[in-house]
Chain A
Amino acid sequence: MDLEEVKEGLKKYDGPEMNIMEVCGSHTGSIAKNGIPGMLSDKIHLLSGPGCPVCVTPSSYVDKLLDLAKDPHNCIVTFGDLIRVPGSTKNNLSSARGEGARVEMVYSPMDTLDLAAKDPDTTFIFAAVGFETTTPVYALLVDEIVRNNIKNIKLLTAIKTMPEVIRYLMESGAPIDGFIAPGHVSVVTGTHIYEPIAQDFSIPFGVAGFKGPELLAAIYGIVREYGHGVVKNFYPSVVKEDGNPEARALIDKYFEKYDAAWRGMGQVKGSGKILREEYRYLDAGSLGLDADRKANPACCCDKVLMGKMRPYDCPLYGKVCTPMNPQGACMVSTEGSCFSYLANHRVDKSSKF
């Protein structure tokens, strides 16, 4: 089917109303960048789910990082997005840095190896936040640490897995009729991982790439399978049914499943990875970081993440809560739902709920 047919099909769709959720920050960004919401029939609604790693990290994790940052012998190493995420108070790594804490921003976890080699008297704590996509790189980092017996790198992990939280959303009654399955996550997990959820809840999944036409094709594929528990792969050039078993084996060597806490959702059974017992000596205290307190009690990140509220329906959106002064994690990251809606003036047509 060519692109024009897909566009026409989506514009003219007149079947049952559908809420379709994307669970990948890059999809959120691409949907806004391509202006996709305005290209759909009034009966198709797109929702942004828990697809941005820093947005789903609970406040106690940030609090723990801030605690570790207070020790002058420590240096926190992180991706840029995490630096401005508030913990249970307004404080974040950026304000900690202003008070003298050492915080290094890197683009690859492997850069931590260089930092640690140059400064053996400092303990470098990598803030390992992410989904199946980044976990293989964390496993590689651990592999290097273990094989070279590096003493001054530890990890504070908040690693999440996608299928478990998708199941949790469906079990908790989120109003979702189909999922745009994440492209990068699926590269590792494969497409088969979504099949049990699709079947149990009779909802279609479309694995999508990141370009506009790829997203449209996946959305149309989902729309046409309304009510059917199927998984369709619209990114077959990159995503295989079995994913990447080698990457999964490396992850499994160093990490095991646990019940991770998600911002606004609490603990979700089996939805995270933590260092295995025998490698736990490399962990800077990731277990038990379940508490989640909002920096601003009126923040609705939890409802937004679960598809139960549109970002602009939050009372703080764009007024008290802005990218320069974020009250919740969804406004911090450029991949966050609230940031993406605000930066693009996105206002969707009325929803099904």
Chain B
Amino acid sequence: MEDKILMAHGSGGSATGELIDEIFDKEFSNKTLDEMEDSAVVPGAGKIAMTTDSFVVTPPEFRGGDIGRLCVCGTVNDLLMRGAVPKYLTCGFILEEGLDIALLKRVVKSMAATAEEAGVKIVAGDTKVVNGNGELYINTAGVGFVPDGTDIAAGNAKVGDAIIVSGNVGDHHAAILSERMNIATDIQSDNAPLVDIVRNLIDGGIDVHTLRDVTRGGLATVLKELSGQSHKTFVIEENKIPVTKKVADFAGLLGLDPLYMGNEGKLVAIVPAEEADHALDIIRGSKYGENATIIGKVTEESGGRLIEMTGLGGERELDILQGEGLPRIC
């Protein structure tokens, strides 16, 4: 097989077949996919969750992860945030001519390993080759089964509820940015599937009102959006926001606010106040949840406001991320 992706790999002919056999099916192989039909036929459920996401991160490999792990985590986490059990993924690859095939192999291997970790099957896929500079883009779509009686949604937050974040914020953003700027640091991306946290919360009997994964735009953007969707005021405490010293220093150096930095393996959970400590224990005992913290609460009905009590003793009202943020972070 060649070292680089050629236009012929997208022809639909023998080179495409070789690419699929040698790279994709080799790693993703399962009974459904191996049938090589035009669509996958799989068992269903009463209520299903569906989502789709495209991944364009640059660089495609970064400290702590790569676009392959990211594209599985992103879609799996979106399914989880409605309480669904992730079941199936599809993946569409857009490959630019000149893409290094060794890189593609590593990415596909990483996808397969992450799908295995998250308990999902990749059941359908597609590949196209376009002119370009050897980059790759991946779209994944996902289906999950929603257990009967599960109702987790942004609008469900109630006055008095506690707001929990599942771990340190800003790591993914800092990892990507430092790679692009050649800043020496060992900050790792947090990209991870949050299956364990969500399953343990639900199995543990917590009456979870809202879940949201904290991705682009960061914690403040996500909380502001949730406050608007639930028509409530959220109050958080600056001193309780979990940020590592490394990320805080990195952010300080570049004038960034960790509250607005992107993550790929963190969620916000809104739960009844009386269940908050129990929920926190469950999250901390789950994979990728060891640094979870209760950061604030839902205080009153409103049009949707997010207030931060600052460490200094003041308060500021936060909004969604203004301006451009960091492009191609996921």
Query: Which residues on A are within 8 Å of B, measured CB to CB?
Result: 7, 26, 29, 32-39, 107, 212-213, 216, 322-324, 334-335, 339, 342-346
Binds A, one of B31-39, B88-96, B308-316: B308-316
Q: Is A39 a contact of B313 with CB atoms below 8 Å? A: yes
The answer to whether B323 touches A213, judged by C-beta atoms less than 8 angstroms apart, is no
Give the CA-CA distance A212 to B255 in the complex, in Å. Answer: 15
The 5 closest A-B pairs by CB, nearest first: A35-B314, A212-B312, A345-B317, A323-B322, A35-B316
Contact with A along B289-321 (1 / 0, CB 8 A): 000000000000000000011111111111100
The complex places the Cα of A343 from the Cα of B221 at a distance, in Å, of: 11
Query: Nearest B residue to A32 by beta-carbon distance?
Result: B316
* A35 adjacent to B308 (CB under 8 Å): yes
A343 to B317, CA, bound (A): 8
Cα distance, A32 to B315, chains bound together (Å): 9
> Residues of A contacting B308 with CB < 8 Å?
35
Which B residues touch A26, using CB under 8 A? Answer: 255
Given A344-B317, A345-B319, CB of A216 within 8 Å of CB of B255: no
A38 and B311 alpha carbons, distance in the complex (Å): 13
Contact B312 A35 (CB under 8 A): yes
A33–B315 alpha-carbon span in the complex (Å): 9
Q: Could you give 12 example pairs across A and B, Cβ below 8 Å?
A: A35-B309, A35-B310, A36-B314, A212-B310, A212-B311, A323-B323, A324-B322, A334-B255, A334-B322, A342-B322, A343-B322, A346-B316
Choice from A38, A107, A343 contacting B314 with Cβ under 8 Å: A38
Q: Name the residue of chain A whose CB is nearest to the CB of B317.
A: A345
Answer yes or no: B181 CB below 8 A from chain A CBs.
yes
- What residues of chain B have their CB less than 8 Å away from a CB belonging to chain A? 181, 254-255, 257, 308-319, 322-323
In the bound complex, CA of A345 to CA of B319 (Å): 8
Could you tell me the distance between the alpha carbons of A68 and B273 in the complex, rounded to whole angstroms?
A: 60
Chain B residues near A335: list those with CB within 8 A.
255
Q: CB-nearest residue of chain A relative to B315?
A: A35
CB distance from A238 to the nearest CB of B (A): 14
Q: Are A213 and B312 in contact (CB under 8 A)?
A: yes
Tell whether, in the assembled complex, residue B323 and residue A33 are in contact, meaning their CB atoms are under 8 Å apart: no
Most buried by B among A33, A334, A345, A346: A33
A29, B310: Cβ atoms under 8 Å? Answer: no
What CA separation (Å) do A344 and B321 show in the bound complex?
Answer: 10
- Chain B residue at minimum C-beta to C-beta distance from A7: B313
Measured CA separation A212–B9 after assembly (Å): 58
B312→A34 contact, CB < 8 A: yes
- Knowing A107-B181, A334-B255, the reply to whether A343 touches B313 (Cβ < 8 A) is no
Question: How far is the CB of A26 from the nearest CB of chain B, in Å?
Answer: 7
CA distance A323 to B254 in the complex (A): 19
Chain A residues with CB under 8 Å of B317's CB are 344-346
- Chain B residues near A342 (CB-CB < 8 A): 319, 322
Q: In the complex, A35→B312 CA distance in Å? A: 8
Residue on B with the closest CB to A342?
B322
Q: How far is the CB of A214 from chain B (nearest CB, A)?
A: 10
Complex CA distance for A36 and B312, rounded to whole angstroms: 8
Cα A298 to Cα B313 in complex, Å, equals 37
The one of B254, B257, B309, B313 that contacts A33, using a Cβ cutoff of 8 Å? B257
In the complex, what residue of chain A is closest to B322 when comparing beta carbons? A323
Closest CB-CB distance, B251 to chain A, in whole Å? Answer: 11
The complex places the Cα of A334 from the Cα of B251 at a distance, in Å, of 14
Q: Which one of B255, B310, B318, B322 contacts A34 once the chains associate, using CB atoms below 8 Å?
A: B310
With both chains docked as a complex, state the minimum distance between the C-beta of B105 and any C-beta of chain A, in angstroms. Answer: 30
Knowing A38-B315, A345-B317 are in contact, say whether A33-B310 is a contact too (CB < 8 A): yes
The CB with the most chain A CB atoms within 10 A, among B308, B313, B317, is that of B313
- Is A39's CB under 8 angstroms from B312's CB? yes
> Which residues of chain A have C-beta atoms less than 8 A from B312's C-beta?
34-36, 39, 212-213, 216
Closest to A216 in B: B312
| Residues of A with C-beta under 8 A to B316 | 32-35, 344-346
Minimal beta-carbon separation of A166 from chain B (angstroms): 23
For A29, list chain B residues within 8 Å (CB). Answer: 255
Name B314's closest neighbour in chain A (CB-CB). A35
Residues on the B chain within 8 Å of A107, using CB: 181, 254
Partner of A334, one of B181, B313, B318, B323: B323
A324 touching B323, Cβ below 8 Å = yes
Known pairs A35-B309, A334-B255, A345-B316 / 20 extra A-B pairs, C-beta < 8 Å = A26-B255, A29-B255, A34-B312, A34-B314, A35-B315, A35-B316, A36-B312, A36-B314, A212-B314, A213-B312, A323-B322, A324-B322, A335-B255, A339-B323, A342-B319, A342-B322, A343-B322, A344-B318, A346-B316, A346-B317
CB-defined contacts of A345 to chain B, threshold 8 Å: 316-319
Query: What residues of chain A lie closer than 8 Å to B311, measured between beta carbons?
Result: 34, 212
Chain B hits for A7, CB < 8 A: 313
Nearest A-chain residue to B259, judged by Cβ: A33
Q: Point out the residues of chain A lying under 8 angstroms from B313, CB to CB.
A: 7, 35, 39
Q: Which residue of B lies closest to A34 (CB)?
A: B312
Min CB gap A142→B, angstroms:
23
A343 to B318, CA, bound (A): 7
Q: How far is the CA of A39 from the CA of B310 in the complex (A)?
A: 11
Query: Whole-angstrom distance from the CB of B322 to the nearest CB of chain A?
Result: 4
B residues near A38, Cβ cutoff 8 Å: 314-315
Contacts of A334 in B (CB 8 A): 255, 322-323
Q: In the complex, what residues of A have CB within 8 A of residue B181's CB?
A: 107
Q: In the complex, what's the smallest C-beta–C-beta distance from B231 to chain A, in angstroms?
A: 17
